[in-house]
Structure 1
Amino acid sequence: MAIWPMWPLVAFGMLPFGSSSVCANYCHKTVINSRWPCLPVIILFQGLHFVNATQLLLHMMGSVALLYWGIRMVRTGATRAFGAALRRMIAACSRSRVAALTTGATITAVIQSSMATSLLTSALIGRGQLSLSVGLAIMLGANVGTTLAAQILSFDVKAVWAVLVFVGVALHTASEAGKLKGLGRMAIGLGLIMLGLTHIDLAVTPLTQSAAFKMVLGSMSGAPVIAVLVAALITWAVHSSLSVVLIVMALAAAGALPIPAALALVLGANLGGAFTPYVEQSAAAPAVRRLPLGNLIVRLVVALPLLAVLGPVAGGLGLMESAPARVVINFHTAYNVLAAILALPFCDALANLCSRLLPDPPQQAETVGPRYLDENVLDQPPVALADALREVLHVGDKIEVMLRNAILVLENDDQKLMKQVASADDEVDTLYEAIKHYLMQISRSELSEDEAQRYVDILAFATNLEHMGDIIDKNLMELAAKKIKNQLSFSAEGIADIRRVHAHVVSNLRLALNIFTTGNITLARRLIAEKVALRDIERVAADKHFARLREGRIETVQTSSIHLDVLRDLKRINSHITSVAYQILDAAGELQGSRLKGDLE
């Protein structure tokens, strides 16, 4: 129809009509007579003077932006203040479905983002640290927990927004880092949410005087499927089901939205909230995508029957609660509680269904490139750091293989294995660059103090691993090539000494990877002690080599420079290995100058 090109002009109050009533009547008749009863942009301003239309639209846009940003600040503040504790809670979930559900509800009640809970839980499932059925129980609880803020905000508490913002700014400014700064951010976010809701009320109030506006929104009651789809699409676009639910609540409270239409929009917001994590993780491994898929299935199965009986449900809720805002939020909570009760006994069956729908891919030859760096979780620093840590461990495993192959090349003159070591070093370089690039994309301002330290530790250890790979490929393998070219052989005693030093270095590498993962101070002190022990072993090996030189042993004389250089390079590799222990001990205050506090046992 001809009305389509006029949308932007009508929306911004710029149609060239002589009076607002002419424009309003034209829009009213056109919409009434069209097959598109849900075109609110056309008639938003019927009964209003068009000189204020742009102001009204900007007011509404700004109010929604305040609401969205406030929710984001609550989520990031809670993650910074309690992120480590929340991750431990998820990882510690037992096989009890009720305990997992309670954990999910508690965590999401704090961070007010079921999507964040979904991403954290999916990451643990992808690493094999949590079963899918337990993860589904956590998400059922998360869906209930995310309704807490909506319940609180459905009461008339918006007047305290100024106090919350003041207290939040004071806490955020007075604290350099840590939980208080995160709590301050949460308080500011809550204040902005309340301020946004207040201004949405102010923007909607003039519109409630328009019969045409009420007619358009009321038409959603007769087309609940369209209302669900619209709300789901908006939720996917803004990545926040809570934002959409609160806007629906504000419209219903102002009398601009009939209750049946509001309930349909709430269903759409919930479905959109479940759909968003699945889309966000579409590029992830099947094991990671199964959790959001299961959550989406649960919400769909519960929503479809409710969609058919929205009228009676709205009437029943209206008898129990007269305030429209409370009716909307009570339905939001009841829907998620009902879904949790119905689905909890079937978590195992649902997990099996999701595994069949998203099976693991067939085993393929390992490809060059990172395994665990998921760019979809970069806006969740705790999860992103965990992925980076796992990728560094992947590099550590490759370095261990290179180190074990290096001694075989030196012993057996295996040129084929030498090429494999060179290829592995290229892979290590590729992974190192990928880890650096990934870490650079994580916003340092979003990190808590502990996470910022972990960020530095991950990058430092990755750098040391890359240096180890270079020493193995560029130094040890060059020495092996020189030995092969000149057809030299180590003496039996000489190669035995090299093996002894090499075995100690490999053992220290395994210990360092353990320390890097756990941050265990006792193990870190042990690694420092092992560095001293290796120095003694290397010194004894060198002394024995010089003794053989004095005896004039032909193999020793011919390979002397290679032998000593191999010992030197193994010692250099060990120095890079032990660097992780110094990082852990320094952060724990266990270092004094360049020495450990206390005596090493």
Structure 2
Amino acid sequence: MGTMVLLDLMGGVALLLWGLHMVQSGILRAFGPDLRRLLAKAFRNRFTSFGAGLALTALLQSSTATGLMTASFAAEGMVALVPALAIMLGANVGTTLIVQLLSFNVAAVAPVLFVLGLVAFRSGGRSKLKDVGRIAIGLGLMLLALHILLDTLAPAESAPAARVLLKAITDDPVLCVLTAAALTWAAHSSVATVLLIMSLAYAQFVTPAAALALVLGANLGSAINPLVEGGRRGDPASYRLPLGNFLNRLVGVVVLLPFTQPLAAELQVVVPDMAKMTAAFHAGFNVVMALAFIGLLGPIAAMLTRLLPERQTAADAGAPRYLDDGAVETPSLALADAARETLRMGDLVETMLRKVMDALMNNDRALVTEVSRMDDAVDRLDNAIKLYVTRLTRKNLDDSEAQRAMEIVSFAINLEHIGDIVDRNLNELAAKKIKRGLQFSGEGAAELIDFHRRILESLRIAFGIFMSGDVEQARKLVAEKAELRGAEIAAAERHLERLRQGRPETLETTSLHLDVLRDLKRIHSHVSSVAYPVLAAAGVSTAAEGHLPGFAPAVPRPS
């Protein structure tokens, strides 16, 4: 008897957690970008931040998810600490709303949710309708799990062993707090833990005072995961937000724990139903903590800033900044992060291109070393981006997301090739020129500088095309490629004319000059590759560039 009850309880809790996961993943897949934009717009002050945290968590039903998302914003310096703390106060209140709803007898709605959810999931294809179906099925599973828990606990009231075990745990309020906190940390959800406590309280397996102590523990446990997972190793400042949220929970628990007995007696008079009383206390605790702390966020932020100062070590250019592992479950968010990281990689490549020309023109040996070091960072970023996007392609991407994933990988590959040309060709030419003490002629130097300027302008246009998919800019970039081919021929002819005139500088640097022109043109071929998928998607012929009309390869190759 006891074994079957335990198995049924474990199955009910597992079903509850899976339903909660389906609701969260469905909302993130369907509305992830909108939710992230909501957070970004809410950072004006603590009150709008509080409202955004409440609304977002009411949808996601996970203050942990909101906490990790906000922690990533704060760690990247995109949001000040005070509004970030206000978001967490709102998140703590928002997570109580589903508990309030499920405290009523709504189990009869579960079959309707299953039917509607299945129809939407099966007929939605790759649209948002499929994700809405996932949400409906998840809610149905949560209601079914609660029904299972209540049905399982009802006959177990007569089992002496179960009562003895629970009494041993719940007689000590501190042990109640620690047990519930551990369960919430393991489940990554205070909602699931509080719903379980409601079931135990309704079946009178725990006393009213023990139920309140367990709720306090669940609220404390919900702050542990952002503290463990929300910071960045080696960066103390990234732990300010999760630590502030944890301290808010801890203060509330320490203050209220001694008063659980009288509070339970008072609440029972107002709300005789034990399940509803548990849900009401959960909501009241979070509202009171929000009201108590929202006016103190300034001093709290100042204290956390003093306790956890900014990391003083130099940033690693090759370490990804925007590839958020927490966004992988939401492809649209993850693709935006990957595109952002690719642009940062592009910035490094542009800097390399500028510095190598300075080294060529000014015989600067220090710049040659710096460019080689930067290429190592570019290579590491390229690997990180490709691995990140590869993880995404294992998810259920729609056609537009799959196409965007290919565009990101393609552009990252071409940027890495540009970095290799700069490091292994232009940088070696600069080192050779410095070693021999050579100088370009005035006319030759001016030609190379002008050619280099056009490459940089094309690279900036390519960045814009990569982000916006602008067809006109793509046409412009491909046209520039053809013009640059003519410019290279003209520059080579002028160089040969200077050779015929017997100019000493030209004679000494002839191979260097022609090699630099060749390598810059190769770089432009990689730069212009970003335009072909855009033109192909618009049905624009690229036959002039050696491609079939209306077609571009998934991973463009320089011609």
TM-score, normalised on structure 1? 0.82
Q: Does 1:549 align with 2:496?
A: yes
| C-alpha displacement of 1:480 | 3.8
The secondary structure found in structure 2 opposite 1:100 is helix
Q: Which residues in structure 2 correspond to 1:163-178 (within 5 Å)?
A: 163-178=112-127
| C-alpha displacement of 1:481 | 4.9
2:110 aligned residue = 161
Q: Partners in 2 of 1:349 and 1:398 — Cα distance? A: 39
| C-alpha displacement of 1:221 | 5.1
1:334 aligned residue = 284
| C-alpha displacement of 1:538 | 5.2
Q: Out of 30, 37, 41, which is 1:92 matched to?
A: 41
Q: Structure 1 303/386 Cα, relative in aligned 2: closer, same or farther at 3 Å?
A: farther
Q: Structure 1 512/367 Cα, relative in aligned 2: closer, same or farther at 3 Å?
A: closer
Q: Percent identity?
A: 43
Q: Out of 503, 528, 540, which is 2:487 matched to?
A: 540
Q: Does 1:205 align with 2:154?
A: yes
Q: Out of 256, 259, 266, which is 2:215 matched to?
A: 266
Q: Out of 433, 440, 453, which is 2:383 matched to?
A: 433
Q: Structure 1 191/283 Cα, relative in aligned 2: closer, same or farther at 3 Å?
A: same
Q: Structure 1 83/325 Cα, relative in aligned 2: closer, same or farther at 3 Å?
A: same
Contact preservation (8 Å) 2:51, 2:87 = yes
| C-alpha displacement of 1:137 | 1.1
Q: Partners in 2 of 1:544 and 1:574 — Cα distance? A: 16
After superposition, give the CA deviation of every residue in 1:536-579 in whole Å (9 maximum; x if it has no partner).
25523531431452461334466455433322322322232344
1:311 aligned residue = 261
Q: Which residues in structure 2 correspond to 1:178-217 (within 5 Å)?
A: 178-217=127-166
Contact preservation (8 Å) 1:220, 1:261 = no
| C-alpha displacement of 1:244 | 0.7
Q: Partners in 1 of 2:495 and 2:346 — Cα distance? A: 36
Q: Partners in 1 of 2:83 and 2:535 — Cα distance? A: 36
After superposition, give the CA deviation of every residue in 1:436-455 in whole Å (9 maximum; x if it has no partner).
33444447426676655554
Q: Partners in 2 of 1:467 and 1:248 — Cα distance? A: 58
| C-alpha displacement of 1:398 | 2.1
1:237 aligned residue = 186
Contact preservation (8 Å) 1:501, 1:538 = no
User: Which stretch shifts more, 362-371 or 158-167?
Assistant: 362-371
1:21 aligned residue = none
Q: Which residues in structure 2 correspond to 1:503-522 (within 5 Å)?
A: 503-513=453-463, 516=466, 519-522=467-470
| C-alpha displacement of 1:474 | 2.2
Q: Partners in 1 of 2:463 and 2:495 — Cα distance? A: 37
Q: Partners in 2 of 1:293 and 1:145 — Cα distance? A: 19
Contact preservation (8 Å) 1:178, 1:449 = no
What amino acid is the match of 1:462? A
Contact preservation (8 Å) 2:43, 2:79 = no
1:424 aligned residue = 374
The secondary structure found in structure 1 opposite 2:162 is helix
The secondary structure found in structure 2 opposite 1:322 is coil
What amino acid is the match of 1:348? G
2:557 aligned residue = none
Contact preservation (8 Å) 1:125, 1:135 = yes
Q: Does 1:354 align with 2:288?
A: no
Q: Out of 592, 597, 600, which is 2:540 matched to?
A: 592
The secondary structure found in structure 1 opposite 2:395 is helix
| C-alpha displacement of 1:267 | 0.9
| C-alpha displacement of 1:494 | 1.9
**Corresponding pairs, count:** 541
Q: Out of 89, 92, 113, which is 2:62 matched to?
A: 113
The secondary structure found in structure 2 opposite 1:445 is coil
Q: Partners in 2 of 1:537 and 1:493 — Cα distance? A: 18
What amino acid is the match of 1:263? L
Q: Does 1:529 align with 2:529?
A: no
| C-alpha displacement of 1:78 | 0.2
| C-alpha displacement of 1:224 | 0.9
Q: Structure 1 358/104 Cα, relative in aligned 2: closer, same or farther at 3 Å?
A: same
What amino acid is the match of 1:59? D
Contact preservation (8 Å) 2:201, 2:275 = yes
| C-alpha displacement of 1:65 | 0.8
Q: Structure 1 175/346 Cα, relative in aligned 2: closer, same or farther at 3 Å?
A: same
Which blocks of at least 5 consecutive residues in structure 2 are unaligned? 544-548, 551-559
| C-alpha displacement of 1:335 | 1.0
Q: Partners in 2 of 1:342 and 1:316 — Cα distance? A: 22
Q: Structure 1 199/277 Cα, relative in aligned 2: closer, same or farther at 3 Å?
A: same
Which blocks of at least 5 consecutive residues in structure 1 are unaligned? 1-51
Q: Partners in 2 of 1:294 and 1:450 — Cα distance? A: 40
What amino acid is the match of 2:387? H
Q: Does 1:476 align with 2:423?
A: no
After superposition, give the CA deviation of every residue in 1:466-486 in whole Å (9 maximum; x if it has no partner).
111111122323444555677
What amino acid is the match of 2:276? R
| C-alpha displacement of 1:363 | 3.5
User: Which stretch shifts more, 320-329 or 408-417?
Assistant: 408-417
Q: Which residues in structure 2 correspond to 1:117-128 (within 5 Å)?
A: 117-128=66-77
| C-alpha displacement of 1:511 | 4.2
What amino acid is the match of 2:175? I
The secondary structure found in structure 1 opposite 2:496 is helix
Q: Partners in 1 of 2:109 and 2:254 — Cα distance? A: 38
Q: Structure 1 553/56 Cα, relative in aligned 2: closer, same or farther at 3 Å?
A: farther
| C-alpha displacement of 1:423 | 2.8
Contact preservation (8 Å) 1:81, 1:448 = no
Q: Does 1:407 align with 2:357?
A: yes
Q: Partners in 1 of 2:139 and 2:3 — Cα distance? A: 28
Contact preservation (8 Å) 1:406, 1:476 = yes
Q: Partners in 1 of 2:319 and 2:208 — Cα distance? A: 53
What amino acid is the match of 2:260? L
2:275 aligned residue = 325
1:27 aligned residue = none
Q: Does 1:445 align with 2:395?
A: yes
Contact preservation (8 Å) 1:528, 1:578 = no
Q: Partners in 2 of 1:367 and 1:499 — Cα distance? A: 27
TM-score, normalised on structure 2? 0.88
Q: Partners in 2 of 1:390 and 1:376 — Cα distance? A: 16
| C-alpha displacement of 1:195 | 1.4
What amino acid is the match of 2:492? H
Q: Does 1:291 align with 2:238?
A: no
1:498 aligned residue = 448
Contact preservation (8 Å) 1:217, 1:261 = no
| C-alpha displacement of 1:124 | 1.6
Contact preservation (8 Å) 1:73, 1:188 = yes
Q: Structure 1 369/138 Cα, relative in aligned 2: closer, same or farther at 3 Å?
A: closer
Q: Structure 1 381/291 Cα, relative in aligned 2: closer, same or farther at 3 Å?
A: farther
What amino acid is the match of 1:461? F
RMSD, aligned CA: 2.8
Q: Partners in 1 of 2:501 and 2:213 — Cα distance? A: 90
Q: Which residues in structure 2 correspond to 1:3-14 (within 5 Å)?
A: none
The secondary structure found in structure 2 opposite 1:140 is helix
Q: Does 1:461 align with 2:411?
A: yes
Contact preservation (8 Å) 1:75, 1:111 = yes
